[in-house]
Amino acid sequence: MTEARFLRRIAWTALPVVAAAGLTVEILQHLRPDPALRPWVELFSLSFEGNVATWYATVLLFTCALLLAGRAARAERGRRGWAFLAAALAYVSLDEAVGLHERLNEVVPSGGVFYYSWILPAAVAVIVLFLAYLPFLRDLPPDLRRRFLLAGTVYVAGALLMELPLGWVAERSGEESLAYALVDFAEETLELVGATLLLDALV
């Protein structure tokens, strides 16, 4: 088995395991509340920070950053584009670990679907970055371009678009409700799928 196939297999195996563990503890906690279960929820839930799911997402994103950096080092053209993408993914992995984006909620107050108001400046940044990268994307081989666009679309759908219903639920039901846990599970899972699709394309 080649290293690329091994890395793919690890990523696509870990994804459902991490997601299923997070969903299982959340559902058990809400169906049969038990203080003894709380530590397991905090350890595996995709809604909590600083746990197994956060660690895996951080490693996955940083692995993508390293693969992009390798592309940049070998590239005969578009080196700056690859290098910037590598830096961007390294930042996203850092943000996943420490939650830098959440500090923007205090800067841009809002409510309703924009309860998590950090998505407003983030959406502008994503649109600007996408437009700036159109020439880079056009120069990619068609198959790689399609896979990049798919990975990016899935990741952004989770990271940004799912924050809209999540904010709405959080404002009305709170962040401890089952509805919040399920929407957040969908959001975090989409992010993991998008990052895994990117890793698959890069290897």
C-beta of residue 168 within 8 angstroms of C-beta of residue 112? yes
Give the pLDDT confidence of 54-103 residue by residue, as tens digits: 999 999 999 999 999 999 999 888 899 999 999 999 999 999 988 776 66
Output the CA–CA distances (angstroms, integers) from residue 173 to 24, 96, 178, 181, in the order listed: 21, 25, 9, 11
Angle at 192 between CA 83 and CA 49, to 5 degrees: 100
R_g over Cα of the chain = 18
- Name the band, by pLDDT with cuts 50, 70 and 90, for residue 108: low
pLDDT by residue (tens digit) across 132-152? 999 999 999 999 999 999 999
pTM over 0.85: yes
Q: What is the DSSP string of the chain?
A: --HHHHHHHHHHHHHHHHHHHHHHHHHHHHHS--GGGHHHHHHH-TTSSSSHHHHHHHHHHHHHHHHHHHHHHH-SS-HHHHHHHHHHHHHHHHHHHH-GGGGGGGTS---GGGSSTTHHHHHHHHHHHHHHTHHHHHTS-HHHHHHHHHHHHHHHIIIIITHHHHHHHHHHH-TTSHHHHHHHHHHHHHHHHHHHHHHHHH-
Q: How many CB atoms lie within 10 A of CB 11?
A: 21
Instruction: Copy the structure tokens of residue 77.
Output: 């053209």
Q: What is the pLDDT of residue 121?
A: 85
Residue 109 binned pLDDT confidence (cut-offs 50, 70, 90): low
What value does the mean pLDDT of the chain take?
91
d(CA 90, CA 81) in angstroms, rounded, equals 14
| Amino acid, res. 120 | L
